[in-house]
Protein backbone atom coordinates (compact mmCIF):
# COMPACT_ATOMS: atom_id res chain seq x y z
CA UNK A 1 0.00 0.00 0.00
CA UNK A 2 1.26 3.46 -0.93
CA UNK A 3 -0.12 6.55 0.80
CA UNK A 4 0.55 10.26 0.37
CA UNK A 5 0.45 12.54 3.39
CA UNK A 6 1.27 16.15 4.16
CA UNK A 7 3.45 16.46 7.24
CA UNK A 8 6.79 16.20 9.00
CA UNK A 9 8.72 13.01 8.23
CA UNK A 10 10.48 13.26 11.61
CA UNK A 11 7.13 12.65 13.34
CA UNK A 12 6.10 9.53 11.40
CA UNK A 13 5.70 6.25 13.31
CA UNK A 14 6.99 3.50 11.03
CA UNK A 15 9.83 1.01 10.71
CA UNK A 16 12.09 3.38 8.76
CA UNK A 17 12.26 6.91 7.43
CA UNK A 18 14.47 7.81 4.51
CA UNK A 19 17.03 10.61 4.60
CA UNK A 20 18.03 11.89 1.13
CA UNK A 21 21.65 12.15 2.23
CA UNK A 22 25.00 13.14 0.87
CA UNK A 23 27.81 10.60 0.55
CA UNK A 24 29.69 12.03 3.56
CA UNK A 25 26.81 11.29 5.93
CA UNK A 26 26.70 14.85 7.27
CA UNK A 27 23.25 16.18 8.07
CA UNK A 28 23.53 19.95 7.70
CA UNK A 29 20.53 20.98 5.66
CA UNK A 30 17.07 20.19 4.37
CA UNK A 31 15.37 16.96 5.45
CA UNK A 32 18.61 15.66 6.95
CA UNK A 33 18.90 18.59 9.33
CA UNK A 34 15.25 18.28 10.36
CA UNK A 35 15.81 14.57 11.11
CA UNK A 36 18.95 15.32 13.12
CA UNK A 37 17.28 18.09 15.10
CA UNK A 38 14.31 15.88 16.01
CA UNK A 39 16.22 12.65 16.57
CA UNK A 40 19.55 13.77 17.97
CA UNK A 41 23.23 13.95 17.05
CA UNK A 42 23.63 10.17 17.30
CA UNK A 43 21.95 9.76 13.91
CA UNK A 44 24.55 11.91 12.16
CA UNK A 45 27.40 10.36 14.16
CA UNK A 46 26.41 6.88 12.97
CA UNK A 47 25.84 8.05 9.39
CA UNK A 48 29.27 9.70 9.21
CA UNK A 49 30.90 6.59 10.71
CA UNK A 50 29.42 4.51 7.86
CA UNK A 51 30.51 6.99 5.15
CA UNK A 52 31.41 7.32 2.42
CA UNK A 53 28.18 5.98 0.98
CA UNK A 54 28.01 6.44 -2.79
CA UNK A 55 24.85 7.44 -4.63
CA UNK A 56 23.01 4.20 -5.41
CA UNK A 57 23.75 2.68 -1.99
CA UNK A 58 22.13 3.21 1.41
CA UNK A 59 22.91 2.57 5.07
CA UNK A 60 20.68 2.27 8.12
CA UNK A 61 21.29 3.89 11.49
CA UNK A 62 19.40 4.03 14.74
CA UNK A 63 16.68 6.64 14.98
CA UNK A 64 17.66 8.38 18.20
CA UNK A 65 14.58 10.08 19.65
CA UNK A 66 12.48 9.69 16.49
CA UNK A 67 9.28 7.59 16.63
CA UNK A 68 10.53 5.31 13.83
CA UNK A 69 12.74 2.24 14.13
CA UNK A 70 15.62 3.39 11.95
CA UNK A 71 16.82 6.02 9.53
CA UNK A 72 17.87 4.91 6.06
CA UNK A 73 20.47 7.26 4.59
CA UNK A 74 20.23 7.08 0.80
CA UNK A 75 22.53 9.62 -0.83
CA UNK A 76 21.02 11.62 -3.65
CA UNK A 77 24.25 13.62 -3.94
CA UNK A 78 27.96 13.14 -3.33
CA UNK A 79 28.68 16.57 -1.85
CA UNK A 80 26.38 18.56 0.46
CA UNK A 81 24.04 20.98 -1.33
CA UNK A 82 24.88 19.61 -4.77
CA UNK A 83 22.43 20.09 -7.61
CA UNK A 84 21.40 16.63 -8.86
CA UNK A 85 19.66 14.99 -11.77
CA UNK A 86 16.75 12.59 -11.87
CA UNK A 87 19.03 9.53 -12.17
CA UNK A 88 20.23 10.22 -8.63
CA UNK A 89 16.63 10.26 -7.38
CA UNK A 90 15.98 6.88 -9.01
CA UNK A 91 19.20 5.36 -7.64
CA UNK A 92 18.63 6.69 -4.11
CA UNK A 93 15.00 5.53 -4.01
CA UNK A 94 15.97 2.04 -5.15
CA UNK A 95 18.86 1.87 -2.66
CA UNK A 96 16.59 2.97 0.20
CA UNK A 97 14.05 0.27 -0.60
CA UNK A 98 16.74 -2.41 -0.87
CA UNK A 99 18.19 -1.27 2.47
CA UNK A 100 14.71 -1.36 4.04
CA UNK A 101 14.22 -4.94 2.90
CA UNK A 102 17.70 -5.96 4.06
CA UNK A 103 16.91 -4.55 7.52
CA UNK A 104 13.40 -5.95 7.86
CA UNK A 105 11.58 -2.62 7.54
CA UNK A 106 8.07 -3.21 6.25
CA UNK A 107 6.73 0.34 6.69
CA UNK A 108 8.88 3.04 5.10
CA UNK A 109 8.37 6.81 4.88
CA UNK A 110 9.98 8.83 2.07
CA UNK A 111 10.31 12.58 1.71
CA UNK A 112 10.66 14.15 -1.73
CA UNK A 113 14.04 12.75 -2.76
CA UNK A 114 16.17 15.56 -4.20
CA UNK A 115 13.40 18.16 -4.06
CA UNK A 116 15.13 20.38 -1.50
CA UNK A 117 18.81 21.20 -1.79
CA UNK A 118 19.11 18.90 -4.84
CA UNK A 119 16.69 21.20 -6.70
CA UNK A 120 14.76 18.50 -8.56
CA UNK A 121 11.25 19.61 -9.53
CA UNK A 122 8.62 17.95 -7.31
CA UNK A 123 6.75 16.52 -10.31
CA UNK A 124 9.93 14.98 -11.72
CA UNK A 125 10.96 13.53 -8.35
CA UNK A 126 7.46 12.13 -7.76
CA UNK A 127 7.47 10.37 -11.14
CA UNK A 128 10.92 8.85 -10.62
CA UNK A 129 10.22 7.80 -7.04
CA UNK A 130 6.83 6.26 -7.71
CA UNK A 131 8.11 4.30 -10.71
CA UNK A 132 10.80 2.75 -8.47
CA UNK A 133 8.48 2.25 -5.49
CA UNK A 134 5.96 0.36 -7.61
CA UNK A 135 8.66 -2.22 -8.39
CA UNK A 136 8.94 -2.94 -4.63
CA UNK A 137 5.30 -2.45 -3.65
CA UNK A 138 4.58 -6.13 -3.08
CA UNK A 139 7.72 -6.59 -0.96
CA UNK A 140 6.95 -3.82 1.56
CA UNK A 141 3.70 -3.56 3.55
CA UNK A 142 3.33 0.20 3.47
CA UNK A 143 5.12 3.13 1.90
CA UNK A 144 4.32 6.67 2.96
CA UNK A 145 5.20 9.55 0.68
CA UNK A 146 5.52 12.47 3.07
CA UNK A 147 5.22 15.91 1.50
CA UNK A 148 6.43 18.98 3.36
CA UNK A 149 4.27 21.33 1.27
CA UNK A 150 1.21 21.40 -0.98
CA UNK A 151 3.20 21.40 -4.24
CA UNK A 152 4.98 18.15 -3.39
CA UNK A 153 1.79 16.65 -1.95
CA UNK A 154 -0.08 17.31 -5.19
CA UNK A 155 2.83 15.98 -7.28
CA UNK A 156 2.91 12.73 -5.27
CA UNK A 157 -0.88 12.36 -5.30
CA UNK A 158 -1.35 13.10 -9.00
CA UNK A 159 1.50 10.84 -10.07
CA UNK A 160 0.34 7.97 -7.86
CA UNK A 161 -3.24 8.25 -9.14
CA UNK A 162 -2.01 8.26 -12.74
CA UNK A 163 0.12 5.13 -12.22
CA UNK A 164 -2.56 3.22 -10.30
CA UNK A 165 -5.06 3.78 -13.15
CA UNK A 166 -2.82 1.99 -15.66
Q: Tell me: the pLDDT tens digits for 2-55?
A: 999 999 999 999 999 999 999 999 999 999 999 999 999 999 999 999 999 999
What does the alpha-carbon distance between residue 32 and residue 128 come to, in Å, rounded to a whole number?
A: 20
Mean pLDDT of 144-165: 96
Mean pLDDT of 116-123: 96
What is residue 164's predicted lDDT score, i.e. its pLDDT? 87
- Whether residue 166 is predicted with pLDDT greater than 80 in this model: the reply is no
What is residue 46's predicted lDDT score, i.e. its pLDDT? 98
Three-state secondary structure call for residue 13: coil
Tens digits of per-residue pLDDT, 42-95?
999 999 999 999 999 999 999 999 999 999 999 999 999 899 999 999 999 999
Query: What's domain 2-165's architecture?
Result: 3-Layer(aba) Sandwich (3.40)
Radius of gyration of the chain (CA): 14
Question: pTM for this one?
Answer: 0.97
pLDDT band at 165; cut points 50, 70, 90: confident
Q: Are 6 and 144 in contact (CB under 8 A)?
A: no
What is residue 116's predicted lDDT score, i.e. its pLDDT? 93
Three-state secondary structure call for residue 137: coil
- Whether residue 130 is predicted with pLDDT greater than 90 in this model: the reply is yes
- Whether residue 138 is predicted with pLDDT greater than 90 in this model: the reply is no
Strand arrangement of the beta sheet that strand 107-110 belongs to: 2-6, 142-147, 107-110, 16-19, 70-73, 59-61
Amino acid sequence: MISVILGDIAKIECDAIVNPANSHGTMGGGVALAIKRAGGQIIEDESVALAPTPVGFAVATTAGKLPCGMVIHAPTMTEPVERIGIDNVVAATRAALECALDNGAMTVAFPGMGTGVGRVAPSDAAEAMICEILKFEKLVERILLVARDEELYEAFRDCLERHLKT
